[in-house]
Chains A and B, each alone.
Chain A
């Protein structure tokens, strides 16, 4: 047994390697298949980030890095939202080379609400409407020049957006 373990182990390793290559090949084939939806190439839905419960985990899953507060981000959100189902929230920034903008509602069941890619030539500003389950901090994240910046504002919610 001891005599054969060496070459056998090597064989195993080799087979594992081969399996891995096959898997990688398959992955590529899937990625290169013509997308049914026009924009799926290079734009995998960040399922994991959207499943995270709290803000920190969602930011980690989406960006994999820390963020720092920036006064160059303008976050427009109401002080008080009477209807948590439709809260108008907008962000704009004077930061250069912005590549993405994301919105986090910290107290929602899933913290990440929306994430936007900002290609070159697109103005680094987004307005949208989000649901808020209850009073919460809203965090706008801006990725600029490979770094992550944020602005935070508390929005008080009188009627939550997730009730029936």
Chain B
């Protein structure tokens, strides 16, 4: 299952520019629903990007990251066709991952 993650990794010289969008509610636990009941916190805590067994980017997120998070970074030493693995873990223990190809 990798439906929650969309990644675009584009090579520029030997640097891969990586843009990622993830579908996730990122509920803070501070917002009430229509019935006035608190919506429990539900948010991604950690996000990792791995290239050739090396972690190239790692995020710790709190509830202040926007719903359906977006993040952009770049790393060196990539080549066209390389695989880039993305995975996240949320506060309820759910995870998802995706392997993208650098273009």
Contact = CB atoms under 8 A, between A and B. Distances in A.
Interface of A: 36-40, 43, 45-46, 50, 85-87, 90, 105, 108-110, 112-119, 121-123, 125-132, 161-164
A23 to B, nearest CB: 25
A121 B87 contact: no
Given A128-B70, A162-B28, A119 B55 contact: yes
B53 to A, nearest CB: 10
Contacts of A118: 57
B76 A122 contact: yes
Interface of B: 15, 26, 28, 30-33, 45-46, 48, 50, 54-67, 69-77, 85, 87, 89, 95, 97
B16 to A, nearest CB: 10
A130 B31 contact: no
Nearest to B89: A37
A43 B46 CA distance: 9
